[in-house]
Structure 1
């Protein structure tokens, strides 16, 4: 597996030099400043490539922008409303620009409104580290009592509704405001600018969009862009819902193995592929990550390796982002399955036999706690995770064990 690292650009508090010292082989990035639905220009792509290619002192880094995460799909495309046809044409134009720049892998998601959802962005662990957490009771308190979404209480079990009322009553105004900020942080570009009224407006726009309809829109989108990707030699890979269960009354269509199987079969060409995110999918106990890698492996174009600890075996429940080897996903088994898929691809002669992976997220430890970088993306916590994953890969690939044992 090719060891990559997500970088948010020059404003990222984890630098190109830091990536170099972590020993990564490639970089995952995106043009986050370009409005969703607009065309990514050759000039902007070339600038990001140049930024990745230089260390702070101007020396060549030797690193390349290898995976786009993400080329965002607009809400208009997801709803098939407004300027969705223009946005679709612009998406295709951006794909051509990326191909011309030599970038072959494009990660995207099809989550309505929320890119991801957490209730605590710095939850303290017993050893002093912090991590991101989704607490179902806190989220219910937000949904029912802060956002006051009509019918919100019907979305939760009675015991959660009761606990949320108690939790909300115990919160002061600052705690309530902090919880709201944490939840809307997962809205694209919304960390500082979105209000609760903005959230309500977005939710109202999806009131008539069922799960079946959203899935149809995803297939329609892929029917347009995946054949072009195949023609251009690109690989598209859809990131799962995060978390992979319904929230705020919004539909979810990429949460399980069955969801992926349906979409892969509907647009059955190699370029239409999967971002297998162990952290997102792992929050559901009915998702068998090593098994999914075995069964869906030929279409896995990108791997996010992180772990979560679930508080319950219920499909919808609380969880926190654990150490890479410390959660409920058997990371050794998952890495072994990925190595076996790579060996199978090599035997077939596939040019894309090496699957790019990145150590997704990480707990804030040591100097991360002072750096206060992008939530979920600390320098040292990710380096620790990468070192652990690298150790598994090295051990399972050792000749004494047989590759991918």
Structure 2
């Protein structure tokens, strides 16, 4: 397995030189400065690749090549947007990129209600509170029908939280929920978000699946010709948010997506945290079931609560058996090598580390601290060494 590290380019407060000290070998990044729907120009990609290579890293995985929201909504004439996307794919392939990670979550990316929840023995983590999400949806966004999306006890607790909260509490909640939009610079206040949700009214899961199928039909043949592998990222959290349907939440959803265009180029980013937040998911079993189509992996852990809340756990301390998961990925690598496949080695990265020691002073992207992720990488490296022996 190839140790990766997510880097936000010039927006990142962690330098490539510092990342080199973690031992990671591969940088996972994107052109976060390019607006959604525009072409990623070849010279810009080449400049980014050269910068990464000069620092001693490989760049083979893009995270992410984002989709314009009109593609997700299936809205209007999409020919220009889809042509631009394919041109970006071609430009990436020309510069040696092999894997494109992307998601199909409408409007919002990963969603958390707390960015600095305290951790036992010190440090902070990302947290999703079902009660605070309900308070935001019902009392702040005031989305029609929001109460029907939550359990009665959650609604009651959400209203109690809202009544007891200060404006500062509410502003912090809004900021936390909006934080999961890397590379997308639209940030909404509750009223603005209510307006932003209107174009999605009536969008069902079946509608979203049909729009996803249309996207795959447009890009997977091109990916096959270019030697690219697409790797859809599961929804985070794996449930409907603000009335928006989510369709990449577990094994059944993944099976439908992979069957929608039955090609090895149509694959999966195995995100242990996103899938692990769904109580119905056995993440190692999912990894074994879809092993042949896993092109990239996010290895992190979560600790779930009965009401649907969860928080980011240390990599070896959450609900997912990380040793079993890593073994499933290593077994798949062994199988691929026996077949002589060029994509035998799977790039993985530690994800959503705790803020530890002086991480908080850096004010990095939420979930992407230096020390916390380095701890996670070291723990994952230890698992791999225990299963395969130390690195040469």
C-alpha distance in structure 2 between counterparts of 1:227 and 1:209, whole Å: 27
Q: CA deviation at 1:224?
A: 1.1
2:233, 2:270 within 8 Å by CA — same for their partners in 1?
A: yes
Structure 2 match to 1:57: none
Deviation at 1:190, TM superposition (A): 5.5
Q: Tell me, yes or no, if structure 1 residue 4 matches structure 2 residue 4.
A: yes
Deviations 1:343-392 (A, max 9, x none): 11111111101011001110000120211211000001000000000010
Return the match for 1:293 from 287, 291, 296: 287
Structure 1: which 5+ residue stretches go unaligned?
Answer: 54-59, 400-405
Q: Which residue of 2 aligns with 1:91?
A: 85
Aligned to 2:172: 178
Q: Which residue of 1 aligns with 2:146?
A: 152
Measure, in 1, the Cα distance between the counterparts of 2:258 and 2:11: 36
- Report if aligned partners of 1:282, 1:328 keep a CA contact under 8 Å in 2: yes
Hey, what does 2:30 align to over in structure 1? 30
Partner of 2:340: 349
Q: Secondary structure in 1 aligned to 2:10?
A: coil
Task: Report the number of matched residues.
Answer: 390
Partner of residue 394 from structure 1, selected from 379, 385, 392: 385
What's the CA shift string for 1:222-280, capped at 9, x where partnerless? 01101110111000000000000111111111111110101111200110000010000
Partner residue, 2:13? 13
Q: Give the 3 Å change call, closer, same or farther, for CA 12–270 of structure 1 in structure 2.
A: same
- Is residue 114–residue 188 contact of structure 1 (8 Å, CA) maintained in 2? no
Q: What are structure 2's unaligned runs of at least 5 residues?
A: none
The normalised TM-score by structure 1 is: 0.94
**Alpha-carbon distance between aligned partners in 2 of 1:187 and 1:208, rounded to the nearest angstrom:** 23
What corresponds to 1:236 in structure 2?
Answer: 230
Matched, 1:364 2:355: yes
Distance 1:183 1:189 in 2: 15
Correspondence 1:376 to 2:367: yes
> Which TM-score applies when normalising by structure 2?
0.97
**Cα RMSD (Å) of the superposition?**
1.3
- Residue 102 of structure 2 is aligned to residue 108 of structure 1: yes
Tell me the equivalent position of 2:250.
256
Kept in 1, the 8 Å contact 2:142–2:194? The answer is no
Q: What is the 5 A alignment of 1:190-269?
A: 193-269=187-263
Q: Which runs of 4+ in 1 moved over 6 A?
A: none
1:143–1:191 CA distance, 2 compared to 1 (3 A) = farther
Distance 1:131 1:203 in 2: 28
Q: Equivalent residue of 2:270, what SS?
A: strand
Cα offsets for 1:137-162 (capped at 9, x unmatched) = 01101100011111111110100000
1:76–1:83 contact (8 Å) kept in structure 2: no
Comparing 174-183 with 43-52, greater Cα deviation is found at 43-52
Per the TM alignment, residue 63 of structure 1 is displaced from its structure 2 partner at its CA by 0.8
| 1:112 match: secondary structure | coil
